[in-house]
Amino acid sequence: MLLAIDIGNTHTVIGVYADESLTAMWRIATSRTATADELRVTLSSLFSLGDLGFEAVRAGAVASVVPSLTRAWVEAVERVTGSVPLVCSAATAGGLFDADYPRPTEIGADRVADGVAARARYGAPVVVVDFGTATNIEVIDREGRFRGGVIAPGVQTSANALFSHGARLPVIDLVVPPAVIGTSTVEAIQSGIMYGEADRVDGLVRRIFAQLGYEAPVIATGGLAPVVAPHSATITEVNPELTLEGLRLIAEAAA
Protein backbone atom coordinates (compact mmCIF):
# COMPACT_ATOMS: atom_id res chain seq x y z
CA MET A 1 0.00 0.00 0.00
CA LEU A 2 1.04 3.62 -0.63
CA LEU A 3 0.59 6.52 1.76
CA ALA A 4 0.12 9.77 -0.22
CA ILE A 5 0.12 13.14 1.55
CA ASP A 6 -0.68 16.55 0.04
CA ILE A 7 0.42 19.28 2.48
CA GLY A 8 -1.30 22.58 1.77
CA ASN A 9 -1.20 25.89 3.59
CA THR A 10 -4.63 25.40 5.14
CA HIS A 11 -5.42 21.70 4.85
CA THR A 12 -3.45 18.48 4.49
CA VAL A 13 -5.04 15.65 2.50
CA ILE A 14 -3.96 12.09 3.27
CA GLY A 15 -4.75 9.08 1.11
CA VAL A 16 -4.00 5.36 1.26
CA TYR A 17 -3.76 3.41 -1.99
CA ALA A 18 -3.98 -0.33 -2.50
CA ASP A 19 -2.52 -0.58 -6.00
CA GLU A 20 -4.65 1.87 -8.04
CA SER A 21 -7.56 1.97 -5.59
CA LEU A 22 -7.89 4.78 -3.05
CA THR A 23 -9.05 2.94 0.06
CA ALA A 24 -9.10 5.88 2.49
CA MET A 25 -8.84 9.67 2.33
CA TRP A 26 -8.81 12.27 5.10
CA ARG A 27 -8.62 16.08 5.13
CA ILE A 28 -7.11 17.64 8.27
CA ALA A 29 -6.05 21.15 9.27
CA THR A 30 -2.42 21.93 8.53
CA SER A 31 -0.45 22.56 11.72
CA ARG A 32 2.76 24.43 10.92
CA THR A 33 4.32 23.63 14.30
CA ALA A 34 3.67 19.86 14.27
CA THR A 35 6.62 17.58 14.96
CA ALA A 36 7.28 14.23 13.31
CA ASP A 37 6.11 12.46 16.48
CA GLU A 38 2.86 14.43 16.54
CA LEU A 39 2.23 13.70 12.88
CA ARG A 40 2.84 10.00 13.44
CA VAL A 41 0.24 10.06 16.24
CA THR A 42 -2.17 11.79 13.86
CA LEU A 43 -1.59 9.10 11.25
CA SER A 44 -2.08 6.39 13.84
CA SER A 45 -5.45 7.87 14.87
CA LEU A 46 -6.62 8.17 11.27
CA PHE A 47 -5.56 4.62 10.45
CA SER A 48 -7.44 3.36 13.50
CA LEU A 49 -10.59 5.18 12.38
CA GLY A 50 -10.26 3.52 8.97
CA ASP A 51 -9.52 0.08 10.42
CA LEU A 52 -6.15 0.13 8.68
CA GLY A 53 -2.75 -1.02 9.90
CA PHE A 54 0.66 0.52 9.28
CA GLU A 55 2.15 -2.88 8.52
CA ALA A 56 0.50 -2.94 5.08
CA VAL A 57 2.00 0.40 4.02
CA ARG A 58 5.28 -0.03 2.19
CA ALA A 59 5.88 3.32 0.48
CA GLY A 60 5.03 7.00 0.76
CA ALA A 61 4.80 10.12 -1.39
CA VAL A 62 4.62 13.71 -0.17
CA ALA A 63 3.66 16.94 -1.94
CA SER A 64 4.30 20.00 0.18
CA VAL A 65 3.91 23.74 -0.31
CA VAL A 66 4.86 24.33 3.35
CA PRO A 67 8.68 23.95 3.51
CA SER A 68 8.75 24.12 7.31
CA LEU A 69 6.60 20.96 7.48
CA THR A 70 8.17 18.90 4.71
CA ARG A 71 10.93 17.39 6.87
CA ALA A 72 8.56 16.52 9.72
CA TRP A 73 6.14 14.74 7.39
CA VAL A 74 8.96 12.89 5.64
CA GLU A 75 10.22 11.63 9.02
CA ALA A 76 6.72 10.62 10.09
CA VAL A 77 6.06 8.70 6.88
CA GLU A 78 9.49 7.06 7.04
CA ARG A 79 8.74 5.76 10.53
CA VAL A 80 5.39 4.40 9.38
CA THR A 81 6.54 2.78 6.15
CA GLY A 82 10.16 1.95 6.90
CA SER A 83 11.30 3.72 3.74
CA VAL A 84 12.04 7.31 2.76
CA PRO A 85 9.02 8.76 0.93
CA LEU A 86 9.24 10.37 -2.47
CA VAL A 87 9.02 14.17 -2.25
CA CYS A 88 7.13 15.46 -5.28
CA SER A 89 8.73 18.05 -7.56
CA ALA A 90 9.16 18.66 -11.26
CA ALA A 91 12.46 16.75 -11.02
CA THR A 92 11.16 13.70 -9.15
CA ALA A 93 8.18 13.46 -11.51
CA GLY A 94 10.65 12.71 -14.30
CA GLY A 95 9.15 11.91 -17.69
CA LEU A 96 5.60 12.14 -16.35
CA PHE A 97 5.92 15.93 -16.18
CA ASP A 98 7.06 17.69 -19.34
CA ALA A 99 7.24 21.42 -18.64
CA ASP A 100 7.56 24.17 -21.23
CA TYR A 101 8.52 26.53 -18.42
CA PRO A 102 11.61 28.72 -17.86
CA ARG A 103 12.29 27.54 -14.26
CA PRO A 104 10.59 24.19 -13.56
CA THR A 105 12.13 24.04 -10.07
CA GLU A 106 9.81 26.82 -8.89
CA ILE A 107 6.63 24.94 -9.83
CA GLY A 108 4.76 23.94 -6.66
CA ALA A 109 4.53 20.25 -5.81
CA ASP A 110 0.73 20.33 -5.85
CA ARG A 111 0.76 21.83 -9.34
CA VAL A 112 3.12 19.11 -10.52
CA ALA A 113 0.94 16.34 -9.09
CA ASP A 114 -2.22 17.89 -10.54
CA GLY A 115 -0.64 18.14 -13.97
CA VAL A 116 0.60 14.55 -13.95
CA ALA A 117 -2.76 13.15 -12.87
CA ALA A 118 -4.80 15.30 -15.24
CA ARG A 119 -2.77 14.33 -18.29
CA ALA A 120 -2.86 10.64 -17.34
CA ARG A 121 -6.59 10.62 -16.63
CA TYR A 122 -7.98 13.05 -19.20
CA GLY A 123 -5.33 13.29 -21.88
CA ALA A 124 -4.06 16.50 -23.42
CA PRO A 125 -4.92 19.32 -23.61
CA VAL A 126 -6.41 19.73 -20.16
CA VAL A 127 -6.81 22.53 -17.62
CA VAL A 128 -6.92 22.00 -13.84
CA VAL A 129 -8.52 24.41 -11.37
CA ASP A 130 -7.40 23.65 -7.81
CA PHE A 131 -9.47 25.44 -5.15
CA GLY A 132 -7.20 25.71 -2.11
CA THR A 133 -5.62 28.52 -0.08
CA ALA A 134 -4.84 29.83 -3.54
CA THR A 135 -6.94 29.08 -6.60
CA ASN A 136 -4.41 27.55 -8.99
CA ILE A 137 -5.09 27.02 -12.67
CA GLU A 138 -2.72 24.65 -14.46
CA VAL A 139 -2.49 24.35 -18.24
CA ILE A 140 -1.39 21.25 -20.14
CA ASP A 141 -1.23 21.91 -23.88
CA ARG A 142 -1.95 19.61 -26.85
CA GLU A 143 1.57 18.22 -26.72
CA GLY A 144 1.12 17.21 -23.08
CA ARG A 145 3.45 19.93 -21.78
CA PHE A 146 2.85 22.00 -18.68
CA ARG A 147 2.66 25.55 -20.02
CA GLY A 148 2.09 27.40 -16.74
CA GLY A 149 -1.09 28.86 -15.37
CA VAL A 150 -2.64 31.26 -12.92
CA ILE A 151 -2.33 31.67 -9.13
CA ALA A 152 -5.00 33.78 -7.43
CA PRO A 153 -6.23 34.23 -3.85
CA GLY A 154 -8.43 31.30 -2.85
CA VAL A 155 -12.05 31.54 -1.75
CA GLN A 156 -11.31 31.36 1.98
CA THR A 157 -8.31 33.68 1.63
CA SER A 158 -10.44 36.31 -0.12
CA ALA A 159 -13.19 35.92 2.46
CA ASN A 160 -10.75 36.31 5.36
CA ALA A 161 -9.33 39.48 3.82
CA LEU A 162 -12.84 40.92 3.45
CA PHE A 163 -13.83 40.09 7.02
CA SER A 164 -10.60 41.45 8.50
CA HIS A 165 -10.97 44.80 6.73
CA GLY A 166 -14.72 45.27 7.14
CA ALA A 167 -15.48 46.04 10.77
CA ARG A 168 -19.24 45.50 10.42
CA LEU A 169 -19.15 42.50 8.08
CA PRO A 170 -20.13 39.18 9.65
CA VAL A 171 -18.09 36.01 9.20
CA ILE A 172 -20.21 33.70 7.05
CA ASP A 173 -20.38 30.13 5.81
CA LEU A 174 -18.90 29.70 2.33
CA VAL A 175 -22.02 28.42 0.60
CA VAL A 176 -23.79 29.57 -2.55
CA PRO A 177 -26.84 31.75 -1.78
CA PRO A 178 -30.23 31.12 -3.43
CA ALA A 179 -29.87 34.08 -5.83
CA VAL A 180 -27.25 36.48 -7.09
CA ILE A 181 -29.07 39.48 -5.66
CA GLY A 182 -28.68 39.03 -1.92
CA THR A 183 -31.58 40.07 0.29
CA SER A 184 -29.42 40.22 3.42
CA THR A 185 -25.84 41.19 4.21
CA VAL A 186 -24.90 37.53 4.58
CA GLU A 187 -26.41 36.54 1.21
CA ALA A 188 -24.82 39.55 -0.50
CA ILE A 189 -21.38 38.55 0.77
CA GLN A 190 -21.96 34.91 -0.18
CA SER A 191 -22.99 36.00 -3.66
CA GLY A 192 -19.92 38.15 -4.16
CA ILE A 193 -17.53 35.50 -2.92
CA MET A 194 -19.01 32.31 -4.38
CA TYR A 195 -20.56 33.47 -7.66
CA GLY A 196 -17.64 35.85 -8.02
CA GLU A 197 -15.19 32.93 -7.76
CA ALA A 198 -17.06 30.91 -10.39
CA ASP A 199 -17.11 33.86 -12.79
CA ARG A 200 -13.46 34.69 -12.13
CA VAL A 201 -12.46 31.13 -13.01
CA ASP A 202 -14.61 31.21 -16.15
CA GLY A 203 -13.08 34.49 -17.26
CA LEU A 204 -9.53 33.26 -16.72
CA VAL A 205 -10.20 29.93 -18.44
CA ARG A 206 -11.64 31.71 -21.49
CA ARG A 207 -8.53 33.89 -21.66
CA ILE A 208 -6.41 30.72 -21.46
CA PHE A 209 -8.37 29.16 -24.32
CA ALA A 210 -7.88 32.33 -26.38
CA GLN A 211 -4.12 32.25 -25.79
CA LEU A 212 -3.86 28.55 -26.63
CA GLY A 213 -6.07 28.88 -29.68
CA TYR A 214 -8.25 25.92 -28.64
CA GLU A 215 -10.40 24.69 -25.77
CA ALA A 216 -9.80 21.81 -23.36
CA PRO A 217 -11.55 19.88 -20.59
CA VAL A 218 -11.43 21.78 -17.29
CA ILE A 219 -11.07 19.65 -14.16
CA ALA A 220 -11.77 21.07 -10.70
CA THR A 221 -10.17 19.76 -7.54
CA GLY A 222 -9.59 20.99 -3.99
CA GLY A 223 -11.86 21.38 -0.98
CA LEU A 224 -14.36 23.87 -2.42
CA ALA A 225 -14.47 22.42 -5.94
CA PRO A 226 -17.83 20.65 -5.40
CA VAL A 227 -19.35 23.93 -4.18
CA VAL A 228 -18.05 26.27 -6.88
CA ALA A 229 -18.01 23.97 -9.94
CA PRO A 230 -21.80 23.68 -10.44
CA HIS A 231 -21.92 27.46 -10.97
CA SER A 232 -19.09 27.54 -13.50
CA ALA A 233 -19.72 27.49 -17.24
CA THR A 234 -16.27 26.14 -18.12
CA ILE A 235 -15.56 23.43 -15.49
CA THR A 236 -16.41 20.05 -17.00
CA GLU A 237 -15.67 17.68 -14.11
CA VAL A 238 -14.84 17.60 -10.40
CA ASN A 239 -12.14 15.20 -9.19
CA PRO A 240 -11.35 15.63 -5.48
CA GLU A 241 -8.66 12.93 -5.62
CA LEU A 242 -6.60 14.46 -8.43
CA THR A 243 -3.55 15.59 -6.42
CA LEU A 244 -3.29 12.30 -4.54
CA GLU A 245 -3.62 10.42 -7.82
CA GLY A 246 -0.72 12.39 -9.22
CA LEU A 247 1.38 11.44 -6.21
CA ARG A 248 0.50 7.77 -6.72
CA LEU A 249 1.52 7.88 -10.38
CA ILE A 250 4.82 9.65 -9.63
CA ALA A 251 5.66 7.23 -6.80
CA GLU A 252 4.92 4.19 -8.96
CA ALA A 253 7.06 5.52 -11.82
CA ALA A 254 9.95 6.18 -9.45
CA ALA A 255 9.78 2.76 -7.75
Cα–Cα separations (whole angstroms), residue 48 to 15, 19, 53, 62, 135 = 14, 20, 7, 21, 33
122-136 per-position pLDDT tens digit: 999 999 999 999 999
What class, spelled out in words, does domain 2-87 have in CATH? alpha beta
Sign of CA dihedral 45, 46, 51, 52: negative
Paired with 6 in beta bridges are: 13, 63
The domain made up of 123-242 has a fold known as Nucleotidyltransferase; domain 5 (3.30.420)
Domain boundaries, the chain: 2-87, 123-242
pTM: 0.93
In the Cβ-directed half-sphere of 232, how many Cα atoms lie within 13 Å?
A: 27
Which residues are identified as catalytic?
110
- Mean pLDDT along residues 24-34: 95
How far is it, in rounded angstroms, from Cα 179 to Cα 156?
20
Contact 147, 101 (CB under 8 A): yes
183-204 per-position pLDDT tens digit: 999 999 999 999 999 999 999 9
User: Do the first three CATH levels of 2-87 and 123-242 match, i.e. the same topology?
Assistant: yes
